[in-house]
Amino acid sequence: MLRLYDTRRRGIFPFRPRGREVTLYVCGVTPYDTTHLGHARTYLTFDVLVRLLEARGRTVRYAQNVTDIDESILQRAARDGVAWDALGKREERKFLEDMDRLGWRKPDVMPHATREIRYMHQLIRQLLERGAAYVVDGSVYFSVATEKRYGELSRLSPAKMRAILATQDDAALDERRRRDPLDFALWRSVPSGPTWPSPWGQGRPGWHIECSAMALHHLGDRIDIHGGGADLIYPHHEDEIAQSEACTGKCPVVGWWVHAGLVRLDMAKMSKSDGNMVFVRDALTRASPEALRFYLLDSPYRRPFDHEEPRLARAAARQATLAADLGRPTRSDAIGRDAATRRVLAALEDDLNVARAIGRLERSARSADERVRASLRAIARGVLGIV
């Protein structure tokens, strides 16, 4: 049985979905720049999780959004002198090309924020009715004082939260309108840029309400797993919990919060805003998709990952050896019940310990008979995508 770490409870628990279908929502990209290794590692972690659940007989409904309106898109579009929506469409297309080359199991639904604004309005209306939000000059803010569990996910002090908020792209838009510096925008009247009509006036949705609305609309009010990069824990996921639980009255709306550690370059987070990125399409000129998957997955997913080119080369060499030892995949390869297979699956079901699973594949691949090798190939290819 799969055991999975939940960030909110700070522990590993046996995974028990609440319905016949496992529901998974992963926070997707804000398309304004090219896919880097940090994105790839996060989405490949969830790719392995989905494939593992499906290989073990579960049906998974997987939703991943596209944040196609955001201050960062508007800022980049203004800098480059291009239309914001054309920039978003172009970068989203490139993201999908990159992930397809990495062989991901595509989400079942990829909602776009700009197409779901009416669902955001519904949630905002409910939050106002319940007294969890207030209007100031055409903007609507969530009142964190109304949520007694606020802060449970990130466990940060208010001072630390304020320091993080000051670094956000939209920080400058909310000054002086809020009752509490931790209150966050659900809807904003803005001085410039694209806007949509709303009951509170023309404006743009806040980032967090976008994901609450899309997750609740596409998956319902019981979400088994909600994932993303570890940098989303605060404010994005903390605020999502506050909104979704205030709206539905259900706690928890999400069973497991799963976060992938960030990819670092020279000890600094790889990020678009800092410009220290290694792009997937560049890495794929030096390694095959299977080797790049091997490299990014062969370490504990919750910890930060330090990118080093010599490590990528070593991973590519190990991947080539494993592929040779396992032999060529065939259509009839299927996961069996032999001891070697069980050991590999046990590692994966232990909070996705891919590094241990790969080590066990490597040890068994050479000595196993053809029947067992066919089963190991089915895992290496079907679940991990590394051969």
Identify which of residues 74 and 211 has a Cβ nearer to Zn ion in the complex.
211
Of the candidate residues 22, 26, 27, 216, the single one contacting Zn ion (CB under 5 A): 27
Tokens standing for residue 70: 């955001």
CB of 218 to Zn ion, least distance (A): 13
C-beta of 277: minimal distance to Zn ion in Å? 20
Q: How far apart are CA 82 and CA 80, in angstroms?
A: 6
The 156-195 site mask, x for binding Zn ion (CB under 5 A), equals ----------------------------------------
Determine the interface stretch with Zn ion among 24-32, 156-164, 308-316, 358-366 (rule: CB under 5 A). Answer: 24-32
Q: Which long-range contacts (CB under 8 A, 24 or more apart) does 51-58 make?
A: 51/105, 51/382, 51/383, 51/384, 51/385, 52/2, 52/348, 52/349, 52/352, 52/383, 53/2, 53/22, 54/105, 55/335, 55/379, 55/382, 55/383, 56/2, 56/345, 58/17, 58/21, 58/22
Q: Which residue in this structure is represented by tokens 């799969």?
A: 2
- Name the residue with tokens 């550690």: 261
Q: How far is the CB of 328 from Zn ion (least distance, A)?
A: 40
Q: 50 or 344: whose CB is closer to Zn ion?
A: 50
> Judged by CB under 5 A, how many residues of this single chain contact Zn ion?
2
Pair 338, 371: CB distance under 8 Å: yes
Nearest approach in angstroms of CB 215 to Zn ion is 8
Q: How far apart are CA 172 and CA 178, in angstroms?
A: 12
Q: How far is the CB of 211 from Zn ion (least distance, A)?
A: 3
In the bound state with Zn ion, the residue whose beta carbon lies nearer, of 243 and 299, is: 243
Interaction between residue 63 and Zn ion (CB under 5 A): no
The whole-angstrom distance between residue 146's C-alpha and the CA centroid of its chain comes to: 28
Q: Print the binding letters for residues 199-218 with Zn ion: x by CB under 5 A, - otherwise.
A: ------------x-------
In the complex with Zn ion, the residue whose CB is nearer, 62 or 134, is 62
Question: What does each C-alpha distance from 238 to 67, 90, 111, 185, 340 come to in angstroms?
Answer: 18, 30, 21, 13, 41
- Minimum Å distance from CB 210 to Zn ion? 7
CB of 207 or CB of 294, closer to Zn ion: 207
Give least dist CB 27 to Zn ion, A: 3
Smaller CB distance to Zn ion: residue 207 or 301?
207
Q: For the CB of residue 4, give the shortest distance to Zn ion in the complex, in Å.
A: 19
Report d(CA 49, CA 348) in Å as an integer.
9
Cβ atoms < 10 Å from Cβ of 90: 13
* Cβ-based burial of 317 (10 A; exposed 0-12, middle 13-18, buried ≥19): exposed
What are φ and ψ of residue 4, in 5° steps?
-140, 140
Please name the helix (run of DSSP H) or strand (run of DSSP E) that holds residue 159, with its range, or none.
Answer: helix 158-165
What is the closest distance, in whole angstroms, from the C-beta atom of residue 151 to Zn ion in the complex?
18
Complex with Zn ion: residue 211 or 292, whichever CB lies closer:
211
Question: Element (H or E) spanning 4, and its range?
Answer: strand 3-6
Of 26-34, 35-43, 329-337, 352-360, the window that binds Zn ion (rule: CB under 5 A) is 26-34
Q: What does the binding site for Zn ion look like in residue numbers (CB under 5 A)? A: 27, 211
